[in-house]
């Protein structure tokens, strides 16, 4: 077990190094430059002063080494756009994204698990066909358009829910927060649950037809027990995999939904950082997201072991 842990930590560090290096190269290869330099009114004197202050007057190799040297001291640099320490900027946004994406994930599970199992047990039925149509529609709708339409109807026309933001400024009660959460959560959860339903349907159909299920029923187990012990248990591992694939979004944020709903999350921050060529902020986001994904994947591997003892014995 100890050897396994050491191996995984070293692997994780290698992944982080590769991610940050690739990010560094990509962001510097992009045309343009930091937003503050995009002002055509700047004189040469101001331009040089800014470049010196941001440290981008140095050769790229120096900038790259300096970033790592600072990292070892726990300093991820200062954002060009926000002029704040990048790590704290990222960490103030992270909970907002976690709240939004976790809520959507939860909502989509609540919708998808019962529906997915139901259609999986009766493929080709009327429910299956109805759900199928809704699924494909919701996967085909661009989230940007769906978000705007949802705002225009629910918020602007019917005045049921707020149009954007995370809270009403100055108000701090839970009801207000939940009201702001409802629309973006729904918009994000729709395609997510469609994907989960499709997936669960396939898994349940496959397992229900598997060779060990029929004998279980023959042994006289009730339908519920067969479902619980033999069908659902066996769909758990692939379900964990699909959920694992959503983890980068959980920390990376949903850029489009966050932008439309003016949600102060990681997705919007990433877009702003990339468009503004905020090199330190982009690097910090890449590092934090990569580190979280690596950690989460590790925990997921442990969860596999819990869900399927066969995997545990291999590890």
Partner 1 sequence: MSRRILLAAALLSLAGCRRSGPPSDTLRLALINDPVMNAPLSPDIGSVLINKVIFPGLMRPSDSITPEPDLATGYRISPDGRRYTFTLRSGVVWHDGKPFTATDVKFTFDRILDPKSGTLQWSDFSVVDSVTIADPLTVDFWLKSPFAPFLTLLGHNAGIIPAHAFTGPIADQVDFNRSHPVGTGPYQVTESVPGSYIVLTANPKYYGAPPRLSRIVFKIVPDVNAQVAQLRAGELDLVTLEPANLRGLADDPDLRIDQVTVPQHYYVGFNQSLPLFKSPLVRRALTLAVNRQAIIDGVMRGYADYPQGTIPVALREYYADGLPTIPYDTTAALALLAQAGWHRGPGAVLTDAGGRPFQFTMLVDKGNPSREQAAVAVQQDFKRIGVTAQIKTMEFASLVRDYVTPRRHEAYLIWWNTPLDPDQFSYYGTGQSNNDVLYSNRTADSLLAVGRATLDPARRRAAYLAFQAVEAEDPPVLLLYYPREVQVRRAQLMGLPALGIRDALRHAEKLYFRAR
Q: What angle do CA 302, 303, 304 make, to 5 degrees?
A: 90
Q: Does 142 bind partner 1 (CB under 8 A)?
A: no
- Chain position carrying tokens 């060529």: 277
For residue 75, what are the contacts with CB-CB under 8 A and spacing of at least 6? Answer: 85
36 in contact with partner 1 (CB under 8 A): yes
Q: Is 50 in the site for partner 1 (CB under 8 A)?
A: yes
Residue with smaller CB distance to partner 1, 80 or 304: 80
Residue 148 in the binding site for partner 1 (CB under 8 A): yes
The answer to whether residue 56 forms part of the interface with partner 1 (CB under 8 A) is: no
98 binds partner 1 (CB under 8 A): no
**167 binding partner 1? (CB under 8 A):** yes
Cβ contact 285:273 at 8 Å: yes
278 is an interface residue for partner 1 by CB under 8 A? no
Instruction: List, in sequence order, every residue forming a beta bridge with 85; answer none if it has no partner.
Output: 78
Q: According to the binding rule CB under 8 A, does residue 175 interact with partner 1?
A: yes
Q: How many CB atoms lie within 10 A of CB 224?
A: 8
Beta bridge mates, 78: 85
Cβ distance 88 to 114 under 8 Å?
Answer: no
Rg of the chain taking only CA atoms, in angstroms = 24
Q: Which residue from 96, 108, 135, 270 is in contact with partner 1, where contact means CB under 8 A?
A: 96
308 binds partner 1 (CB under 8 A): no
The encoded tokens of residue 172 equal 């701090």
List residues near partner 1 by CB under 8 A. Answer: 31-50, 52-53, 81-85, 89, 92-93, 96, 107, 110-111, 114, 148, 151-152, 155-156, 159-167, 169-170, 175-176, 178-179, 182, 259-262, 264-265, 268-269, 272, 275-277
């Amino acid at each position: 077990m100890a050897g396994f842990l050491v191996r995984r930590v070293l692997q994780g560090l290698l992944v982080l190094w590769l991610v940050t290096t690739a990010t560094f190269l990509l962001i510097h290869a992009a045309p343009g430059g930091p937003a503050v330099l995009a002002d055509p009114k700047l004189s040469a004197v101001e331009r040089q002063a800014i470049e010196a202050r941001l440290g981008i007057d140095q050769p790229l190799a120096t900038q790259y080494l300096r970033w790592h040297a600072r990292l070892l001291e726990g300093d991820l640099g200062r954002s060009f756009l926000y002029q704040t320490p990048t790590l704290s900027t990222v960490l103030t946004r992270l909970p907002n994204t976690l709240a939004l994406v976790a809520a959507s994930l939860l909502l989509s599970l609540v919708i998808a698990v019962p529906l997915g199992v139901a259609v999986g047990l009766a493929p080709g039925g009327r429910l299956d066909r109805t759900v199928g149509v809704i699924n494909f529609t919701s996967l085909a709708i661009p989230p940007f358009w769906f978000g705007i339409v949802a705002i225009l109807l629910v918020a602007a026309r019917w005045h049921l829910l707020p149009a954007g933001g995370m809270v009403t400024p100055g108000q701090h009660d839970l009801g207000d927060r939940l009201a702001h959460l409802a629309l973006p959560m729904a918009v994000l959860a729709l395609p997510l649950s469609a994907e989960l339903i499709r997936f669960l349907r396939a898994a349940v159909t496959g397992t229900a037809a598997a060779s060990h299920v029929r004998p279980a029923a023959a042994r006289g187990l009730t339908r519920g027990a067969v479902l619980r012990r033999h069908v659902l248990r066996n769909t758990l591992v692939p379900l964990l995999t699909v959920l694992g694939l959503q983890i980068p979004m959980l920390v990376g944020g949903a850029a489009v939904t966050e932008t439309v709903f003016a949600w102060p999350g990681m997705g919007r921050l990433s877009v702003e950082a990339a468009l503004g060529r905020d090199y330190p902020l982009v690097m910090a986001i890449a590092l934090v997201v990569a580190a979280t994904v690596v950690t989460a994947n590790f925990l997921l591997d442990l969860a596999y072991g819990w869900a399927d003892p066969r995997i545990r014995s291999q590890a």
